[in-house]
Each structure stands twice: as C-alpha cells, then as structure tokens.
Amino acid sequence: MTIFFKDNQPFVEGVCINDLINSQATPFYIYSQEAITATYHKLKKALSSEIFFSVKANSNQAILKLMQSLGAGADTVSVGELERAVHAGFDPSKIIFEGVGKSQQDIEFAIQHNIRLINVESLEELQLINQLGQSLNKIINISVRLNPDIDGLTLDKISTGKKTDKFGITLDQLTEVIQLVQSSHHVNLKGISCHIGSQIYDIAIFEKVFTRMKKTASLILSYNIQINYVDLGGGFGVNYDDKTNELDITSINKLVQSTFDKEPYEISFEPGRYLIARAGIIITKILTRKKNGGIHYLITDAGMQTLIRPALYNIVHRVTALQNNSVHNDVYTVAGPICESSDIIAKDISLPDQQMGNHLVIHDTGAYGAVMASNYNSRGFPAEILIHK
C-alpha cells in the first residue's frame, strides 16, 4: 500500500489519513481495495488456476465480499469462517472446508450448505463423515489433505507439511485411506490437497510438492477413483523487509504447466497472505516517550493486542512516521502498551524526532493482523477500514 503526501497531509487512495484519525480512535487498520484487487488480478493472470482465498488470513466481511466479487473461492478452516463465507455471498460450489479439528456439528453445517469439498485430515474424520452421510442419506464430496513430509524451510511455527506436523494425513496412510473410501458408500473422493507452510520463496520446494502431489494423484487414479481437483496450497512468500527477493509467480505457473500437463483434474491454489498482506497498515498513536538504559522508547496504543506477529513470530514490520518533517532523526524502539516485555513492535529504527501524540504507520499488516487481535489487558479490538476510490 502506498501512502503519499500532499501539503504535508498523508493520503491513501485519495483519502486523507488525518481525517480518519480525527473520526476514528486509534489504533485502527486501513486496507486498500485498489491494492488487493491489483494483486488478485496479477496472481490470477500469472497462475491460470482457480484461486481459493484463505479466509484465516483476513476474515473481515468487507474483504471477503471483495474477494467474492473478484471471482475467488473461499478456503475455510472453521465453521465460523464457513459462515462468514456464506454470508459474504460465495457460491457453495466455491467453498472448501478444511481444518485439523472439525466437530460433528461443524461437518453437519458444511454438509447442509452443499459446499464443494470437505477436506479430510484424519482416518477417524473420514469415518465420521461417512456415518453422517449414511444418517442423512447423502453422498458427501470429500478431498483428502495430505501431509507430504516436505520441509518448506520456513519458521517452525508456520510449518505444516513435515511428517511430524499435526496437519493432514501422511502418505504412509494413503493405502488405508483408499481402502476406507472404497468400502464407504456415503463419501465420494473428489480431490487431494496439501499446504506445507507459509513464507516459501524457493521454487525447488514447490517443484518437490508438485511432483509428490502428481505421483499421489496418479496412485489414486490407478485404483479407479476419479479425482477432479488437486489443490496445491499456498505459502507464497511475501517480502516484509524489502531485503528478500520477491517470489517469481510466473515460474510457479510454468512449473504447474510442465508438471500437470494433460492431467485429468483441475489445479487450484489457496493463497491468503500473498493477496492482502501488503494491502494493509495500522495507524497508531504515540502515547508517551521514555528512555530506559539508553533505549529511546516510543510507547504506542497499538501493541501485541493489535498485531501479535512481532511477539509471536519475531517478525519485523516496517514502521514509518506520519509526522516526518523534522530534519533530525533518532533511533527508537517502538513498544506497545501491554504488560508483557515481549510487546515490542520494532527495535532500533531510525525515525524523524517524534513527540507524544504523533502517529506511526505499521506496514504490511493486511494478513494475520486484525484477525489475530485480542482483548488482552481489556484494551478492545481495533477498527478496520477498507478504502476505495
């Protein structure tokens, strides 16, 4: 998202940020509809595959309605997300329900709404779905989320494709899955999927995933089970610090074409972060300044209750100042108001001299930001504003 200044006033898509500050208590999120739309079209054009937006990245209802209007499907991981997708207007045939922990009530809700697929993540879940189909006298379309035992070389906390991770069904159980499907009369195996983690930049890792998924699909087809969908997940790396090379999406598409050419099933992806991370910012106010042990602190009203990622993942988000007309810079550590020593947003960053009451911008917070916010210390939840021309 681009912030530009006119007469020392900051603007996003023609909207003055100071006007928003005057009408909305900080901290709050701003999302750019223009940026989201441009990124979606760029990805869609590059991939030439069906895209299911990963709702867990940002479940704001306005964002979901925008994604639906752009033509995306919805990838959901809870009944709450599934309800949001339905309310946002997604066609049931473009909704997928996955997640490692589904209750019977969750599965029943998905069945009632006739969504495209329920992604199965355990043998017991497969048995439960078949039992529910029997009691409802329905044949339930399912997909199997596979755990391909591939290391995405990402943070352990966002790794989902290694054999020891809790996600999916490992390949050594695949024969048992196939036998169970063949002996079950109320499930229809329509596809397979996988997702090995987030923030992946190495094309070689995607190549390994695609090759393994193709081999697995071929094995299932050899059992005379006609699958229609192969979901290759997401995980496309997003550059937060401008130091990492951007992922070449066109190379991903070339890899898809070379790997799956003439295969009898549709390819899809489920990106979340890639579509919206850089389309969001947080506006936060400096509550006070202080100096402890030689460290210049700016204490802001945004903290880990607003954006948990720095504390949880040690992720660095770029921070800039809205009031930046000072000719002198200082080195600051930006900290939130929460009673935790880990509530640090940014360390040792250079900013123009700042005063109490000034405002800062925390960049690239469109994904896994507000959706992970909490009411810790009873500070309340941040507002979210979608800007469009």
Catalytic residue of the set 105, 339, 341, 389: 339
Element (H, E) at 10: strand 9-12
Which is it for strands 280-292 and 28-32: parallel, antiparallel or unpaired? antiparallel
- With H, G, I as helix, E, B as strand and everything else as coil, classify residue 177: helix
User: ∠ CA(217), CA(222), CA(223), 5° rounding?
Assistant: 105
| 16 catalytic per annotation | no
Under DSSP, the state recorded for 300 is E
Q: Where are the beta strands (DSSP E) in the chain?
A: 4-6, 9-12, 15-16, 28-32, 50-54, 73-76, 95-97, 117-120, 140-147, 169-170, 187-193, 229-231, 266-269, 280-292, 295-300, 319-321, 329-335, 344-352, 359-363, 383-387
**β-strand partners of 334:** 298, 346
**How far is the CA of 196 from the CAs of 120, 273, 364, in angstroms?**
16, 14, 23
Active site residues: 339
